[in-house]
Chains A and B, each alone.
Chain A
């Protein structure tokens, strides 16, 4: 039995082959998540191959959830012998992984391969997620920003504009619900389930309260008073009756469907939802407006957090030139224009005013302004540790089993220990 296992191991190792011969066509493996609907990646890959004779691109699909993809990369990259390589060259990375992967030594430093200012055409928040320690480790590929969706028809009927602050939003909810007398119409729905989406909602609450998750010196929740204030606001939406209790178990899709089916006045969600509200035959078509997230007090609207993905190149790739060329091509304006024709939002600012694209997706110029003000989630190699340690504490506040002060103190303690010696 063990002999069989050994033999199997030998075959597996041998399968990875020796160095490629110079005259043989180079094959670059691209690991990416499937896109919804009409996947443009095969077309882009074919275009790249036409321009780079001698380079073949093999695409391999990643799992569907972000956690699954992360586990795939960690298992294949962490501790794998450099000589063997991970078996892929270009990889699609969630926006929050770049510093972690760079710090772990899994990514090729792209700085020398880029023209000066090459990232300037992307949104600042998207470019920020690609940099760590003063180097560029990945190329921004697609983009998402947290925004406020509102039922434009309902607001107009009651003579209201999109709310700029929490107080305005709460007043709008109370007024519309009192007048509409529809028990099924909820006020403001957002993502309160214990997962990454809750971290995004909490980050936005922290920013609205004038503080942040990480201080300039890396301290966790440096301003405890404002942090507790921000978390209290999340819980307050529920206790004040502005949000239904079920948001404490809701993710993006649950809230999107409730809002899209006309069962809520306001929704916090990502750019991507707009295409679905605007789809032919969708019940909300033509009735949905977008605005920046409400701020606190008189400070005005507040930034949304960013999402999306980037393209990185494996440090142990055997074909660095071809792999970098593929990543640059896929992140180019030309390729992003193709992507933007589908359901993806580009990271390149110019495309948001491209006439052909705007004709197809009329909300893009509005997105441009909202994206300019967006903020990335903390760019640190310890992001996942931060977020996953924070989530139970945030959830405890949203559900109402912990006071905001207690949760802030517990989160600070947890993270002080977890981050010890990591920086």
Chain B
């Protein structure tokens, strides 16, 4: 290593060190610590703090409330991500050909995406109000959207779709804008119809962006917390309780830090598994290309 390279190395470390130290303390440290915490029985209010091994995980494996939360998380994630992708993609395609109001449309989409989750929850809580909610008034029904066991989860998914569909639409729309018109002209010359153009031209070009949004949206849906915590609080009867809500209630309603951390770790592992699966798909695509 030359003196110059050594100097560059030193300088680089100097630039990076404050950020690395902060990340180690605030992000990496807690991310490792939570695994250790999940192996402990720790209830500060009772002065309890001792090693518990995998007892929490063993309990969760046969805990109906855990599996219910797991199911709710899975249904919520699959339903809301699928709807968001379909609606977002459709809207992006429609917007591309739109001649009026495009700027306003983009602003509106950005706004819905940028609102705090708690605001979205309050918006929909009011829309779903049994007596004076706009949804019931518009549909001419008297349903208790958030209190009915069959309706609460769909109502929650709908609110999430409203909030996050813009993310998909904006990404797809931005990608569509970068497809040169010549590509479509060539397809038209080859006699491709609208369906064929979409299937063989637009979709392949959009695929990488769709994959990225699919990843981001899946991770966000798995991690989602504020919307359900404020809108339904996990009720009625725990039918909208996701893993994050179950973890939070265990952690901070009664400060069962070890037990709640075990649920947090499971969310963590799920999220990382999805991210890893995505990376391997991406690698295979790159290898194939």
Contact = CB atoms under 8 A, between A and B. Distances in A.
Contact of B236 (A71, A100, A194, A410): A194
Given A249-B236, A385-B254, A395-B238, A414 B149 contact: no
A285 interface: no
Interface stretch (A81-89, A358-366, A397-405): A397-405
B51 interface: no
Interface in A85-118: 100, 103-105
B89 to A, nearest CB: 35
Given A74-B45, A78-B44, A104-B47, A399 B236 contact: yes
B160 interface: no
A399 B149 contact: yes
B136 interface: no
B237 A402 contact: yes
A414 B237 contact: no
B48 interface: yes
A400 B48 contact: no
Do most interface residues of chain B lie in helix, strand or loop, or is the interface mixed?
loop
A194 B235 contact: yes
Nearest to B147: A249
A74 B236 CA distance: 27
B174 to A, nearest CB: 34
A388 interface: yes
A400 B236 CA distance: 10
A361 to B, nearest CB: 32
29 contacts: A71-B252, A74-B45, A78-B45, A100-B45, A103-B45, A104-B46, A104-B47, A105-B47, A194-B233, A194-B234, A248-B147, A249-B235, A249-B236, A381-B46, A385-B254, A388-B249, A388-B254, A392-B65, A392-B235, A395-B235, A395-B236, A396-B237, A396-B238, A398-B237, A410-B65, A414-B65, A418-B254, A418-B256, A421-B41
Given A246-B130, A395-B238, A418-B254, 10 more contacts: A74-B45, A103-B46, A104-B47, A105-B47, A193-B235, A246-B144, A381-B46, A392-B235, A399-B239, A402-B237
Contacts of B144: 245-246, 249
Contacts of A400: 149
B59 interface: yes
A8 interface: no
B238 A392 contact: yes
Nearest to A395: B237
B165 to A, nearest CB: 28
Interface string B110-123: 00000000000000
B280 interface: no
A417 interface: yes
A46 interface: no
A78 B255 contact: yes
Interface residues of B, number: 31
A399 B253 contact: no
B238 A104 contact: no
Interface in A56-96: 71, 74, 78-79
Nearest to B252: A71
Interface in B217-257: 233-239, 241, 249, 252-256
Contacts of A413: 63
A294 to B, nearest CB: 25
Nearest to A417: B59
A14 interface: no
B140 interface: no
Given A392-B241, A401-B149, A79 B233 contact: no
Contacts of B252: 71
B43 interface: yes
A276 B154 CA distance: 38
B193 interface: no
Nearest to B62: A413
Contact of B253 (A103, A384, A396): A384
B269 to A, nearest CB: 21
A22 interface: no
A396 B147 CA distance: 12
A100 B45 CA distance: 8
Nearest to B56: A417
Contact of A79 (B44, B234, B249): B44
Contacts of A392: 65, 234-235, 237-238, 241
A24 interface: no
A422 interface: yes
Question: Which 3 residue pairs across A and B have the least CB separation, nearest first?
Answer: A249-B147, A392-B238, A396-B237
A421 B256 CA distance: 12
A161 B146 CA distance: 37
Given A249-B144, A384-B253, A384-B254, A422 B236 contact: no
A71 B253 CA distance: 8
Contacts of B253: 384, 388
A104 to B, nearest CB: 5
Interface in A189-219: 193-194
A232 to B, nearest CB: 15
A246 B147 contact: yes
B63 A194 contact: no
User: Which one of A71, A392, A399, A401 has the greatest number of beta carbons of chain B within 10 Å?
Assistant: A392
Contacts of A422: 43, 46, 48
B64 interface: yes
Contacts of A417: 59
B263 to A, nearest CB: 13
Nearest to A246: B144
A347 B241 CA distance: 38
Contacts of B44: 78-79
B48 A194 contact: no
Contacts of A248: 147, 236
A421 B65 contact: no
Nearest to B249: A388
B63 A414 contact: yes
